Chains A and B, each alone.
Chain A
């Protein structure tokens, strides 16, 4: 029974309790940069999750093989390989999205979430638990990107996934799709998540 709970915990902790963005404050650069539209946010979340899951699986399989001294170098090479695969895949099959995300797809390599999970989890745990951990973290990351990009696209362009949802006379808040809007929205989201956590524990 205890084992079952801990497996579930491996998965769910990434979504809220140890959420990579809101709680651990990792991977902020792509979070802020690409969330202009829901489409971009979703693509970024999925690409990063793909890289995270593949890297975690491979690294937990190889964890006893890689000497301690060169582990960071090995992690980086493995991560960069999967990022190249994701980048090329998007460029070949979804060229518009690839154009919009620009250098932020290759920058997944230095996303602290991915390297951080390898160092803290995948290099110490078995394949099954590592995959669950990666799935949870990837989902937590994608969810925050989705919320943030929905707020920004709705207020900044009056649309969601390109479809008009606001009334016709709604005049878009230009600032939301500009850099300041990203910082302000994320700041408010972090404050809100702290407040919710506080309410829960009390």
Chain B
């Protein structure tokens, strides 16, 4: 039950993109087409889940016992950067089609603040191992959801007559604002 609440909270109520403002850069950059949005969402969810697990292990088995909490940021970002590299190498070895689909997005993920944000928030909220894992999956699902909705709208938008100065980022922000307004309706759900 607790775990379900964490999942729904991370995916919908406190959606990473639309209410926590994490991962805005890829949200603006990779939401032009639906298929690439889905691939990016999958790649992020994948890395998020692994990051949630690994950073939990590092923080609770390495940093806390040796009183090294001050190295939290440095170690987390290094872990994420190396994880992304490892995942990239692993996928390339194991599945060529998957690599072709996700490949170009993987390097971008290191600087996606949603990943580091996830690791930091999980520590801040003192989540247990299982809770962190579920939180990672939920956050990834929420990110994918926001990205896919946005891409769907932007594909339709190509047919619309947007004022010239608002084309691109401007109108994306305004649509995101309306989406955030809609997502606020979920607040208080849990």
Contact = CB atoms under 8 A, between A and B. Distances in A.
A/B touching: CB–CB < 8 A: yes
Interface of A: 25-26, 28-30, 32-33, 72-73, 76-77, 80-81, 83-84, 87-88, 102-103, 106-107, 109-112, 115, 175, 178-184, 186-188, 190-192, 194-195, 198
A26 B71 CA distance: 26
A153 B143 CA distance: 28
Query: Which of B72, B124, B169 is most buried by chain A, counting CB atoms within 10 A of its CB?
Result: B169
A100 to B, nearest CB: 14
Interface in B71-93: 71-74, 77-78, 81
B130 interface: no
A103 B173 contact: no
Contacts of B4: none
Given A25-B28, A28-B25, A112-B111, A190 B181 contact: no
Interface string B166-177: 100111111011
Nearest to A77: B74
A102 B24 CA distance: 17
Instruction: Please classify the interface of chain B as helix (H, G, I), strand (E, B), loop, or mixed, using the class held by over half of its residues.
Output: helix
A157 B27 CA distance: 28
A196 to B, nearest CB: 9
B25 A103 contact: no
B23 interface: yes
A26 B184 CA distance: 25
Nearest to B173: A187
B164 to A, nearest CB: 8
A181 B174 CA distance: 9
B25 A109 contact: no
Instruction: Please classify the interface of chain A as helix (H, G, I), strand (E, B), loop, or mixed, using the class held by over half of its residues.
Output: helix
A58 to B, nearest CB: 15
B68 to A, nearest CB: 12
A84 B71 CA distance: 8
Query: Which of B116, B174, B183 is most buried by chain A, counting CB atoms within 10 A of its CB?
Result: B174
Interface of B: 18-25, 28-29, 70-74, 77-78, 81, 110-113, 115-117, 120-121, 124, 163-166, 169-174, 176-178, 180-181, 183-184
A86 to B, nearest CB: 10
Contacts of B117: 103, 107
Given A76-B78, A112-B111, A180-B180, A32 B24 contact: yes
A73 B78 contact: yes
Nearest to A196: B165
Given A73-B78, A84-B73, A110 B24 contact: no
B70 A88 contact: yes
9 contacts: A30-B21, A76-B78, A175-B181, A179-B184, A182-B180, A183-B176, A183-B180, A187-B177, A194-B165
B81 to A, nearest CB: 6
Given A28-B24, A110-B77, A178 B184 contact: yes
Given A84-B70, A107-B117, A33 B20 contact: yes
